[in-house]
Chains A and B, each alone.
Chain A
């Protein structure tokens, strides 16, 4: 424990502290003691308020109760990487359709920055018809019939906004609360706050589909400055979920155990000597991998599901398919995985080439996600899992009501540019109201006219459903009580809470 404290002291020595102790006139000689007191004070503060996240070094993933009784025990986040067009999917704008092909008014362009639009673009109406769905009468595009069938279970937020208009920083903002590298992802914060339920599986699992990794890369599920034991584990679409998880030929489980015991002994010696928590992370990961040998391959194997279920999701026999991942997500949810993160790449509909054009490739993306998303919702509902699971569907920003005109020219395919000013995401499941819409954009779907929701507000709301005050789930790093929502004030969107 003493060595760990030493490590904390070393880590906590920052310019901030240097300047502070300099300012106090006591000189940097006292830095060590003052920081030690600070660390001790911080942990005793946590205990006093009943909210310490301190754990035994050997079990960094042990469960802790949430701050308040939680509505939601796990999250399935379906991230549509590339930013799907809300104007083709959820944000119904008949007026924009009427003005289709007309010059964009100058007021839309003044003071705005675009990734590609230049000159005066044309307004572009929705490429697909909308229909009202369900008792709640929510308008949804005809591209998403399976999702539309669940309209009465969905809570749309049509007034999401971000301050990033390029994919990687915008995705980082959505997943880590910060557009720069080095911050813990949402799933990591959740693991840090609550621990993992199933000790034989990672508590935070990431599955990719769509042919490419999201632009933000592995940073999107990194643990940032939190101990790396809290990072997301990316699993492979078929075969071994994690490479070299299974024993090689000629090695049985007992031999593996003996080997691990020897490695653990050495690691614990190293830890006793240097006190680096990353050593403990390493030990925990070895142990986790050993336990995962039993359960992970089974959990990820969709062939254990009956044919009828696989057909319902639209699964393919092999491949990094969104449908397969959705079914895996349901299996993981059943097994107590806290945070299941799916990424489906390919929504960046600029119209520069056929596979990303709104009138071509976009259709394929819709087909790829619609049926599995609908099936996942039905399946979770039927099995009673939706009651305490939060499902999130959305991208990193929105798209413009103007047709993209790269270099001021009309392009061969139809596309839209990035619009950080307004986009739609939806939530379903435990903790949110069913069949409602929150927030509103103008007649063009360009700017928010009512109830804007910043990314940090969404994060604060999701943490609230998981049982946390976003201001209290903190970790001391670089002299600051770091939190997911950064230093700006956030707001829990109470209106959408069930």
Chain B
């Protein structure tokens, strides 16, 4: 009894000062942050947490400096102030932790990191108090060592808690995000780096994001964030929700998101909720393959094979450009042929034209003249033959007699001789057209015997056979 009173008297001050800490611990144990909207006053004072929190941090880190520097004779007076600084630090830590709890209760925060940060703050307050008590009772080497150990714990706890706090306010990767790659390598991080945005044209953006956009973002998007989860960008997805990460790269079955969308629809955890249709098999497969392949935001569209025949969606934004026409270059390209072209345009109105305003290549479309255009007329274009890149002679009255004149158009990319009287002989004559990309002999007597010759044309992409079904098609 007497011992007890003595103890109480001896440690009265210490115990009185511990009571705010006890109150704080009680608060965070019985009223933990639950992600629900709190009172307005909690919002208001909670906002001061980031402002006040740096005060105890600085003070706690100052104490070891004072203690170590004070070991030197000229600075010995510094050690005298360390207990006072510790006292301030304890006060600051308790106050900041209380504001932190208010902020967490305001409803904007919850999740693993917040919980860890909160307990870090509480531990720090306790540690500061312990240091403060010990500092006042250093009697010998034994207590000195104990004090030094407690102080070290304090420094470690403040660093760890501060890091967690930084993750809450600036994102989980705030320290490593812009780390130089050498350093990243040294601490064992992959150099791909966790990107906040998926790369344009990546598999994620083209195949995965549209699925979430269609089925999930109504509840997990900019307007609503059920369970604190957003699925409207790669960054949000990988950040996870209040139950932590929802994607485990490489492990589809272990990823909470995939587990939920593959459950039976009457399961409590099933997504999408509210009796919505489950995701169809092909979409599930796309998500699964993507997670298995590493859940990357950068892997290209073609990196994942064996996809179900899903709806292919147009890829990344493509901006077209409109080049200016270089008149000098045009004049140069047309230099040798301009007068011949002009003469031919008079003789054969509206069938010969430059391919474009900026080009010296020619397009010949004799098909509009029909049977009035014959073998002799093809020969009339000999002087400009090498500049003709597109020739449409369909439905004209040309025969195999025109073959040599056509063969002279060495730079032809497109040749149409459909519905004419040409035969395999013309095709034989065309073997030198190594630029030809499209050949149309639809409705002619060209037979399957000409196919081997056609297959030898190096650039040919489209072939329209004489009778549909007799050739490789396009």
Interface residue ranges, A against B (CB under 8 Å): 48-51, 62-70, 94-95, 98, 132, 135-139, 195-200, 334-336, 381-384, 387, 433, 435-438, 440, 442-443, 449-451, 464, 467, 469, 471-472, 492, 494-497
The CB with the most chain B CB atoms within 10 A, among A384, A464, A497, is that of A384
Contacts A65-B355, A384-B438 known; A438 to B313 CB distance under 8 Å? yes
Residue from the list A65, A95, A196, A497 in contact with B276, Cβ < 8 A: A95
How far is it, in angstroms, between the C-alpha of A139 and the C-alpha of B312 when the chains are bound? 11
Contacts A49-B324, A197-B350, A438-B314 known; A95 to B277 CB distance under 8 Å? yes
Check if A62 sits within 8 Å of B438, measured CB to CB. no
Check if B468 sits within 8 Å of A382, measured CB to CB. yes
* Chain A residues, CB < 8 A from B358: 50, 67-68
Check if B350 sits within 8 Å of A195, measured CB to CB. yes
Shortest CB distance B5–A (Å): 70
Shortest CB distance B419–A (Å): 8
Q: Find the A residue at minimum CB distance from B314.
A: A495
Check if B418 sits within 8 Å of A384, measured CB to CB. yes
Q: Can you list 27 A-B pairs, Cβ within 8 angstroms, ordered by A?
A: A49-B324, A64-B353, A65-B353, A65-B357, A67-B358, A68-B358, A69-B356, A98-B276, A135-B309, A136-B311, A197-B350, A197-B368, A198-B368, A199-B350, A336-B368, A383-B442, A383-B443, A384-B418, A384-B462, A387-B462, A437-B311, A440-B210, A443-B276, A449-B217, A471-B322, A495-B317, A497-B320
Taking A69-B356, A335-B367, A382-B468 as known contacts, 13 extra A-B pairs with beta carbons closer than 8 A to each other, sorted by chain A number, are A62-B350, A66-B356, A70-B356, A95-B276, A199-B349, A382-B442, A384-B464, A433-B314, A440-B210, A440-B214, A471-B322, A495-B317, A495-B318
How far is it, in angstroms, between the C-alpha of A381 and the C-alpha of B473 when the chains are bound? 10
Which residues from 341 to 388 on chain B have a C-beta closer than 8 Å to any C-beta of chain A?
A: 349-350, 353-359, 361, 363, 365, 367-368
Top 10 nearest A-B pairs (CB, nearest first) are A494-B318, A50-B325, A495-B314, A384-B440, A384-B464, A198-B368, A469-B322, A137-B309, A336-B368, A438-B314
Contacts A94-B277, A95-B276 known; A67 to B214 CB distance under 8 Å? no
Check if B438 sits within 8 Å of A387, measured CB to CB. yes
Check if B356 sits within 8 Å of A436, measured CB to CB. no
Report if B394 contacts A (CB, 8 A).
yes
Residue from the list A68, A200, A336, A435 in contact with B367, Cβ < 8 A: A336
Check if A138 sits within 8 Å of B311, measured CB to CB. yes
Check if B353 sits within 8 Å of A496, measured CB to CB. no
Residue from the list A139, A199, A381, A449 in contact with B213, Cβ < 8 A: A449
Report if B323 contacts A (CB, 8 A).
yes
Contact with A along B212-250 (1 / 0, CB 8 A): 011101100000000000000000000000000000000
Q: In terms of DSSP, what is the predominant structure of the interface of chain B?
A: loop
* Chain B residues, CB < 8 A from A139: 311
* Chain A residues, CB < 8 A from B354: 65
* Chain B residues, CB < 8 A from A437: 311-314
Check if B365 sits within 8 Å of A336, measured CB to CB. yes
Shortest CB distance B286–A (Å): 12
Q: Find the B residue at minimum CB distance from A461.
A: B320
Check if A137 sits within 8 Å of B416, measured CB to CB. no
Report if B319 contacts A (CB, 8 A).
yes
Check if A334 sits within 8 Å of B394, measured CB to CB. yes
Check if A67 sits within 8 Å of B282, measured CB to CB. no
Q: Find the B residue at minimum CB distance from A298.
A: B370
How many chain B residues touch the partner (CB < 8 A)? 57
Shortest CB distance A386–B (Å): 9
Check if B213 sits within 8 Å of A384, measured CB to CB. no
Report if B175 contacts A (CB, 8 A).
no
Shortest CB distance B219–A (Å): 11
Report if B458 contacts A (CB, 8 A).
no
Report if B146 contacts A (CB, 8 A).
no
Check if B319 sits within 8 Å of A494, measured CB to CB. yes
Check if A69 sits within 8 Å of B368, measured CB to CB. no
Q: Find the A residue at minimum CB distance from B275.
A: A98
Check if B311 sits within 8 Å of A492, measured CB to CB. no
* Chain B residues, CB < 8 A from A195: 350
Report if B23 contacts A (CB, 8 A).
no
Check if A51 sits within 8 Å of B325, measured CB to CB. yes
How far is it, in angstroms, between the C-alpha of A438 and the C-alpha of B315 when the chains are bound? 9
Contacts A197-B368, A437-B313, A450-B210 known; A497 to B318 CB distance under 8 Å? yes
Q: Find the A residue at minimum CB distance from B313.
A: A437
Shortest CB distance B340–A (Å): 16
How far is it, in angstroms, between the C-alpha of A451 and the C-alpha of B367 when the chains are bound? 40
How far is it, in angstroms, between the C-alpha of A364 and the C-alpha of B214 when the chains are bound? 32
Shortest CB distance B223–A (Å): 10
* Chain A residues, CB < 8 A from B27: none
Contact with A along B174-215 (1 / 0, CB 8 A): 000000000000000000000000000000000000100111
* Chain A residues, CB < 8 A from B319: 492, 494
* Chain A residues, CB < 8 A from B474: 381
How far is it, in angstroms, between the C-alpha of A437 and the C-alpha of B316 when the chains are bound? 13
Q: Find the B residue at minimum CB distance from A51.
A: B357
Check if A334 sits within 8 Å of B395, measured CB to CB. yes
Contacts A63-B350, A383-B418, A440-B214 known; A137 to B310 CB distance under 8 Å? yes
Report if B330 contacts A (CB, 8 A).
yes
Residue from the list B320, B349, B355 in contact with A494, Cβ < 8 A: B320
How far is it, in angstroms, between the C-alpha of A442 and the C-alpha of B309 when the chains are bound? 22
Check if B418 sits within 8 Å of A467, measured CB to CB. no
Check if A137 sits within 8 Å of B282, measured CB to CB. yes
How far is it, in angstroms, between the C-alpha of A323 and the C-alpha of B327 when the chains are bound? 47
* Chain B residues, CB < 8 A from A469: 322
Residue from the list A51, A137, A199, A381 in contact with B311, Cβ < 8 A: A137
* Chain A residues, CB < 8 A from B418: 383-384
* Chain B residues, CB < 8 A from A492: 319-320
* Chain B residues, CB < 8 A from A48: 327
* Chain B residues, CB < 8 A from A132: 309
How far is it, in angstroms, between the C-alpha of A221 and the C-alpha of B308 when the chains are bound? 44
Check if B309 sits within 8 Å of A63, measured CB to CB. no
Contact with A along B261-303 (1 / 0, CB 8 A): 0000000000000011100101000000000000000000000
Check if B215 sits within 8 Å of A50, measured CB to CB. no
* Chain B residues, CB < 8 A from A451: 314
Contact with A along B435-459 (1 / 0, CB 8 A): 0001010110000000000000000
Check if B462 sits within 8 Å of A435, measured CB to CB. no
Check if A382 sits within 8 Å of B464, measured CB to CB. yes
Shortest CB distance A299–B (Å): 10
How far is it, in angstroms, between the C-alpha of A62 and the C-alpha of B280 when the chains are bound? 55
Q: Find the A residue at minimum CB distance from B278.
A: A94
